[in-house]
Structure 1
């Protein structure tokens, strides 16, 4: 599939999706959000893809925010529709994807860019990365899940400060806050993402899909995450991966998971 605003490449079990609008600092417009939805969906449906890496082109930005020119003249209803559709198509879609998603932040991750990174299952960053939610400086709030996911990741007080000041934090602060898992040089960013992906791919993709569902359940209103964990734990016993994993352990050999 060909895209205008992104690149998608599959290699050795990893699909790398690159937002490719360097002249716009990879800002998210509606067309890019639609293409990202299609690329993530295709990767998740690809049996050969075990891990997805999302990053930005160039050295300056992962995603520097949303394309403000597209919604500057919107009314209340249009604004609500913009947020709801964006969350459905991309941000919630990524968060609930069964294939693990690693966000590799190469530079600015602001507004919708940080929201996309937070929707990924975890994040790593280059040492030049800057992160923030500057929406209140435009008279609006984060609308793609930022007010919900940021407090979950770094705590209410720090999230409130970042949102209300519209400020930015550097990569080391983000690491200290728990917003990113690792910080490395720009040159080593994708190699590190691939190394982490390799560690993930040694394990059962079926079990990982269940784990993502169980962890996410803890953050859903009205859902008992412990019950989901029990259900998914039990479901694992009916999989070929469970049979292979336990047999390999007892036989003291490396498991060769069929992914079923």
Structure 2
């Protein structure tokens, strides 16, 4: 849990059974990210990987108005030149890479605004569930006049393709949850977000951890330009889970996944 002196916690990290839930907790500011919140998100990723009981990491925003409405503009007040921007984008990329590298499945639960850095945070999650009226965008061409890092541009291209990425950024467009679902960015568009998230958690907890890890790791590597994967195959096929599942399947018995 991370907090600012004299204020309530800006980010809440709570274990709920097999799920670790991160709540961005500045609803009056539409959960705009502070440095402390970025640090808290990184720490939550570390916690998820260190605790064998955590099977799913869920990210959500407090209140009804936003998942995350970008970085709090006050964080830019002391910038004096281009190198400050380079340092900022590197700092954000470090957090995004850490979130993408989490071993367990990650789920973004999105209602309201998912803007700027918030959209990037959602993009590195494995599954995105959103209300139909959620708002996705990076309107920097008509707001701050800044730009993104190359890894973030690559992330958008991966999910949306060149045409939609250019539309989103050049036209400062917002996509609704319905439109983002139609574009393939949102996994599920639903009015009952809480129920959809719970169903997703229950489903993921029942699946083989190493199979899901292998899928995540393979896609991460391919997106980053790597095609090697013999170590992934060796780890999964050499696991206790695989051997036990083969025996259970042959004997028509239930199986229990251990992640080993």
TM-score range, shorter chain: over 0.9
Deviation for aligned residue 1:108: 0.4
1:204-215 alignment to 2 at 5 Å? Answer: 204-215=208-219
The alignment partner of 1:55 has SS state of strand
The alignment partner of 2:223 has SS state of coil
Determine whether 1:177 maps to 2:183.
yes
| In structure 2, C-alpha distance between the alignment counterparts of 1:183 and 1:49, rounded to whole Å | 25
| In structure 1, C-alpha distance between the alignment counterparts of 2:163 and 2:255, rounded to whole Å | 44
Deviation for aligned residue 1:145: 4.2
* Alignment correspondent of 2:6: none
TM-score by length of 2: 0.92
Question: Residue 165 and residue 72 in structure 1: after superposition, are their counterparts in 2 closer, same or farther (change >3 A)?
Answer: farther
* Number of residue-to-residue matches in the alignment: 253
| In structure 2, C-alpha distance between the alignment counterparts of 1:181 and 1:258, rounded to whole Å | 27
Answer whether contact 2:30 2:66 (CA < 8 A) is retained: yes
* Alignment correspondent of 1:164: 170
Alpha carbon RMSD of aligned pairs, Å? 1.5
Of residues 115, 132, 148 in structure 2, which corresponds to 1:142?
Answer: 148
* Alignment correspondent of 1:133: 138
Answer whether contact 2:2 2:10 (CA < 8 A) is retained: no
Deviation for aligned residue 1:211: 1.9
* Alignment correspondent of 1:247: 247
Moved more, 64-73 or 102-111: 64-73
1:1-260 alignment to 2 at 5 Å? Answer: 1=1, 3=3, 4-74=9-79, 75-88=81-94, 90-137=95-142, 138-143=144-149, 145-185=151-191, 188-221=192-225, 223-224=226-227, 227-228=228-229, 230-260=230-260
TM-score by length of 1: 0.92
| In structure 1, C-alpha distance between the alignment counterparts of 2:2 and 2:159, rounded to whole Å | 34
| In structure 1, C-alpha distance between the alignment counterparts of 2:254 and 2:159, rounded to whole Å | 34
| In structure 2, C-alpha distance between the alignment counterparts of 1:64 and 1:144, rounded to whole Å | 21
List gaps (5 residues or longer) in structure 2.
Answer: 4-8
List gaps (5 residues or longer) in structure 1.
Answer: none
Deviation for aligned residue 1:77: 0.8
